[in-house]
Amino acid sequence: MTQHCPDSQWLTEYVAGSLSESQALCVSTHLNFCETCRSQAAELNTVGALVFDNQAPSASVDPAMFDQIMNRIENPIHTEQPALSARPGALEPLSAVEKLPLAIGKLMPEGMDNLRWKKLGKHIRVANLDRLDEQRDISLHKLMPGGTVAEHDHHGEEITVVLCGSFSDQDGVYRAGDFIVRKPGETHRPMVTDDEECICLSVCDAPVKFTGMFTRLLNPLVAYQHKH
């Protein structure tokens, strides 16, 4: 049972397609876990379709376009790159996470173990995934049992979705599927609650003024490393 869900604004913007790709990744990951939000999103989608269906018929479409379409269907140009897919077994370390969306698997085609995990202190590992848009970094955080992250604040908005295991902070306990948004300036001190490791997807604003390794300073868990 997930408790921490995206609010209606997040879901609406997701359904309307106005979220950035990396934000959408977080919402769609959450939806994989949360039936309540899934049905809410489907309902919003229905609302969108109602409005779509009721658009004023202002735009006319050239009937000749139909032949063009049929022509393209009959003579497909294969410009598409071979579809990326997760290597078999790529998600094995996450096999406990049945509901991992395929999209995350596609972001690590070589498998989770082959990501470049960086050690941040005894209990934390971080691996960056390919960006989906310019403004945000995407990473996986692995917190080992007993791990505590020093209190830190957030320089940009950070979205975290728990993929497996659980962690807690002063505001509560977060379990698989939970969707947490931290605004800039909020501070917290995450702690792993179970005996099993906790893996989270995290998407952070990456303001343009910081580049290269300074970008990493913005990542709250990375920031920890530099304080000690």
Partner 1 sequence: MEKQIEKHSQTDKPKDDWAEYMLRVAQYKDADAFSELFSHFGPKVKAYGLSLNSMHTSPEMADELVQEVMIKVWEKARFFKPEKANVSTWIFAIARNCRIDYLRKMKRITSPLSADDLWPVFEEPEPETLTELKNSGLQIEKAVHNLPVEQVAILREVYIEGKTHAEVAEQTGLPLGTVKSRLRLAMEKLRTSLVADPGERAGTQ
Q: Indicate the residue among 134 and 195 with the shorter CB distance to partner 1.
A: 134
Distance CA 204, CA 202 (A): 7
Nearest distance in Å: CB 218, partner 1: 21
Nearest distance in Å: CB 44, partner 1: 8
Nearest distance in Å: CB 72, partner 1: 6
Using CB under 8 A, list all residues that contact partner 1. Answer: 8-9, 12-19, 21, 24-25, 28, 38-40, 42-63, 65-66, 68-70, 72-73, 84, 101-103, 106-107, 109, 130, 132-134
Nearest distance in Å: CB 70, partner 1: 7
Phi, psi of 151 (to 5 degrees): -55, 135
Q: Indicate the residue among 160 and 166 with the shorter CB distance to partner 1.
A: 160
Q: Indicate the residue among 77 and 213 with the shorter CB distance to partner 1.
A: 77
Supply the angle between the helices 35-53 and 8-16 in degrees, to the nearest 10.
50
**What are the tokens at 70?**
């049929």
- Adjacent-strand bridge partners of 202: 139, 160
Closest Cα partner for 4 from 35, 30, 32? 30
Counted residue by residue, the chain has a size of 228
Residue type, 46: T
Q: Indicate the residue among 109 and 145 with the shorter CB distance to partner 1.
A: 109
